[in-house]
Structure 1
Amino acid sequence: MEKQDQLLMKKQNKNLVLDIIKNKSPISRMEISKITGMSPTSITRIVHELHEQGFVRETELVTSGVGRKATLLDVYDDVLYTIGVEIDRLIVKVGIVNYIGEIISFESMTRDVTENYSDTLEKLNNCIKELMTEKDIRTEKILGIAVGLPGFIDYKNGIVKVSDQLGWKNANLANDLKKHTGFEVIVDNELKMKIVAENFMGMAKDSLNAVLVGIGSGIGSALILNGEIYRGESNNAGEIGHTVIDPTGNVCSCGKIGCLATYISEAAILADSRKVKDVQSIDDVFDSYRNGESWAINILDRTSTYIALAISNILCLYNPEVIILSGNTIKKFPEIKEAIEKKCDLYIWEPLKEKVKIVYSMFTDRGVVLGAAIQAQNTLLDLE
């Protein structure tokens, strides 16, 4: 047991040193020693091992100041790559991401609503191979693939239990995509992937407690609590779309009455709009609002009210530092931001207002892809 404990500690120390170099480079060995409390001898040994494995290099820069100059350390950005994938109802996105989190190649493809599961996997496999060829990336450099998609996901086994948007049920996506590509695959809900990107370099960077709310074809959220993704017992933590807000309200696709999604989702907005006017898309509703049509103003005013109520409930339950709003509704209809903020001021419990920041995602179309690739690296990288 003692030997096992020592091996585990050595592995943890090695990971710690690599993380410090990656996040604080260029940095000297002495600075790493001060940060970690490890001896300079231990740091030198670990750095040597990381150099031998191809992760760490000495830069041409040296520290300035009085005394002996120390060579600074950096990481190789091309030591490994991960592939991030987003699959949505009408679009599939693929990106190759290097070790320091830069998307070096990206492709977006349309997806027909009638496209079946096998066709989507074949399309994905072909796209991945094309991007690798285009950037001349060898197979052994790819650590793995991570996929983000809407639905109820068995994260541990990589199974899509149910995705209403894609029409998939009990799809063994991780195993099936691995058969196509030969790479290790992890699968998760798209918002959980996106909050990883927000925590890595977005609006939740360095936050220990944050919530991402996605508003579009449905409404859902993802949570980081104490620096980790909070999943709940079955990876469904954050599924606020099926919280009941009106037991005498609208019928939801899940079979219940009065779910939040039946008031906020694009489908719900369209259904109510079509009672008044023959609109073809959500864009038509937004245009009607901009044209000053009272029915559209009333429907979208109600939408902003329910969004604010959802934010208020999330704050009372989790008390995060930051709530990030994202999704198609926010992107296509930025006018709703002001209405949400005014209603948040009205509905949020006073003691919670002082600390929380309500912000908007800085990612437009690549957040899920980046977050998925970062999650693949976090999950699959195992330093010996």
Structure 2
Amino acid sequence: MEKQDQLLMKKQNKNLVLDIIKNKSPISRTEVAKVTGMSPTSITRIVSELHSQGFVRETELVTSGVGRKATLLDVCRDVLYTIGVEIDKLIIKIGIVDYVGEMAAWLSIPRDEAESYDETLMKVNRGMRDLIEKHQLPFEKIIGIGVGLPGSIDYMNGLVKVSDQLKWKHARLADDLKRLTGFDVIIDNELKMKVIAENFKGMARDSQNAVLVGIGSGIGAAIILNGEIYRGDSNNAGEIGHTVIDPTGNVCNCGKIGCLATYISEGAIIADSKKIKNIQSIDEVFAAYRKRDSWAINIMDRTTTYIALALSNILCLYNPEVIILSGDTIEKLPELKGEIERKCELYIWEPIKDTLKVVYSGLSNQGVVLGAALQVQNSLLDLD
């Protein structure tokens, strides 16, 4: 037992030193010792191990100021790679991310709404292999794949319980994709993957409590409380699309009446638009809104009202420092931002308004992919 405790502490110290070098580089061994409280001898030994494993390198930079000069340390961004995948209703996005979280390769592939589960997985496998070959990345440095997708996800067992957008139920996605690709696979709800990216380098970087709201083919949220993703009992925390806002309202795919998603998802907007015009896509609705067609203005006015009400409810429940709006609806029609903010002023409880920041994701279409790749590092990287 004592030996196991020593090995665990050694591993924890090694991870701590690597995290400090990664986040504060370039940095000297002396400074690492000060930050960690470890002895210079221990730091030298750990850095030597990390160097031999390819994680750390000495730079050409040296410390400034008085005293003996010391060479500064940095991490090797190409020591490993992780693959991030987003599977959505009409598109598949694949990215390969290096150790410091930079996108080394990127590909997006159209997805047919009617294509089968197996067809989608084959597309992911082909796209991933094409990227690896095109950018000449070594297979042995890729430690795994992370997949973000809409729906109720059992991330511990790699199971898609149900995804309304993809029309998948009880799909053993992690196992199936591992058999196809040969890589270890983790999966999670797309917004939970994306909030990891926001926390790493986005709008939630300095926040311990934040909520990310995604509005597009569906609507949902991901919640960070005290620096950790809040999942709830079955990883369904944040499924605001299935909160009931009108018990006499529209029928939802889930079987309930009046769910939020039946009023502000892209499908709901298109369905309402078809009652008035021969509309085939959300882009046509947005174009009509920009032309100031009255029917489009009325539909989007109702949409922004429900968005503001949803935000008000989230804020009263979780009281985050920041709430981040993202998704295709916000990105394709940024004109809605001002209208949403105006209605938030009307509906959000006064004591919360004073400290709240409503911001917009700056990760564009790469957020889910980046978060999925980062989560692979968090989950699968094991320093011996």
Partners of 1:126 and 1:277 lie apart in 2 by 39
Partners of 1:134 and 1:278 lie apart in 2 by 42
The 1:130–1:291 alpha-carbon spacing in structure 2 relative to 1, beyond 3 Å, is closer
Query: Partner of 1:85 in structure 2?
Result: 85
Deviation (angstroms), 1:43: 1.1
Q: Which deviates further from its counterpart, 273-282 or 324-333?
A: 273-282
Partners of 1:352 and 1:218 lie apart in 2 by 26
Q: Which deviates further from its counterpart, 244-253 or 99-108?
A: 244-253
SS of the residue aligned with 2:365?
A: coil
Query: Partner of 1:236 in structure 2?
Result: 236
Query: Partner of 1:7 in structure 2?
Result: 7
TM-score (normalised: structure 1): 0.98
Deviation (angstroms), 1:252: 1.3
> Aligned partner of 1:248: which letter?
T
TM-score (normalised: structure 2): 0.98
Deviation (angstroms), 1:93: 1.1
Query: Partner of 1:134 in structure 2?
Result: 134
Query: Residues 37-52 of structure 1: matches in 2 within 5 Å?
Result: 37-52=37-52
Query: Partner of 2:202 in structure 1?
Result: 202
Query: Residues 91-106 of structure 1: matches in 2 within 5 Å?
Result: 91-106=91-106
Partners of 1:251 and 1:124 lie apart in 2 by 33
Partners of 1:206 and 1:32 lie apart in 2 by 22
Partners of 2:311 and 2:119 lie apart in 1 by 38
Query: Partner of 1:314 in structure 2?
Result: 314
Query: Partner of 1:125 in structure 2?
Result: 125
Deviation (angstroms), 1:353: 1.1
Deviation (angstroms), 1:278: 2.3
Query: Residues 48-197 of structure 1: matches in 2 within 5 Å?
Result: 48-197=48-197
SS of the residue aligned with 1:153?
A: strand
Deviation (angstroms), 1:293: 2.2
Partners of 2:135 and 2:261 lie apart in 1 by 42
Partners of 1:112 and 1:48 lie apart in 2 by 50
Deviation (angstroms), 1:99: 0.5
Deviation (angstroms), 1:256: 1.1
Query: Partner of 1:226 in structure 2?
Result: 226
Partners of 1:75 and 1:291 lie apart in 2 by 51
Note the residue ranges of structure 2 that are not aligned, 5 or more in a row.
Answer: none
Does residue 36 of structure 2 align to residue 36 of structure 1? yes
> Aligned partner of 1:205: which letter?
R
Deviation (angstroms), 1:368: 0.9
SS of the residue aligned with 1:368?
A: helix
Partners of 1:129 and 1:304 lie apart in 2 by 41
> Aligned partner of 2:323: which letter?
I
| Aligned residue pair count | 384
Partner deviation per Cα, 1:150-179 (whole Å, 9 max, x = no partner): 111110011111112112111111111111
CA contact (8 A) 2:164 2:253 kept: no
CA contact (8 A) 2:89 2:217 kept: no
Partners of 1:253 and 1:177 lie apart in 2 by 27
Deviation (angstroms), 1:52: 1.4
Partners of 2:216 and 2:294 lie apart in 1 by 22
Deviation (angstroms), 1:333: 1.1
Query: Residues 301-380 of structure 1: matches in 2 within 5 Å?
Result: 301-380=301-380
Partner deviation per Cα, 1:42-84 (whole Å, 9 max, x = no partner): 1111111111111111111001101111110001111110000
Deviation (angstroms), 1:294: 2.0
Partner deviation per Cα, 1:343-368 (whole Å, 9 max, x = no partner): 11111111111222100010221111
SS of the residue aligned with 1:165?
A: coil
The 1:136–1:283 alpha-carbon spacing in structure 2 relative to 1, beyond 3 Å, is closer
Partners of 1:335 and 1:39 lie apart in 2 by 56
Partners of 1:174 and 1:256 lie apart in 2 by 29
Q: Which deviates further from its counterpart, 212-221 or 113-122?
A: 113-122
Partners of 1:268 and 1:156 lie apart in 2 by 32
Partners of 1:137 and 1:315 lie apart in 2 by 44
SS of the residue aligned with 1:365?
A: helix
Partners of 2:292 and 2:54 lie apart in 1 by 61
Deviation (angstroms), 1:315: 0.8
CA contact (8 A) 2:165 2:218 kept: no
> Aligned partner of 1:366: which letter?
Q
SS of the residue aligned with 2:165?
A: coil
> Aligned partner of 1:343: which letter?
K
Partners of 2:322 and 2:299 lie apart in 1 by 27
> Considering only aligned residues, what root-mean-square deviation do their CA atoms show, in Å?
1.1
Partner deviation per Cα, 1:228-278 (whole Å, 9 max, x = no partner): 111111111100000111222222111111111111111111222222222
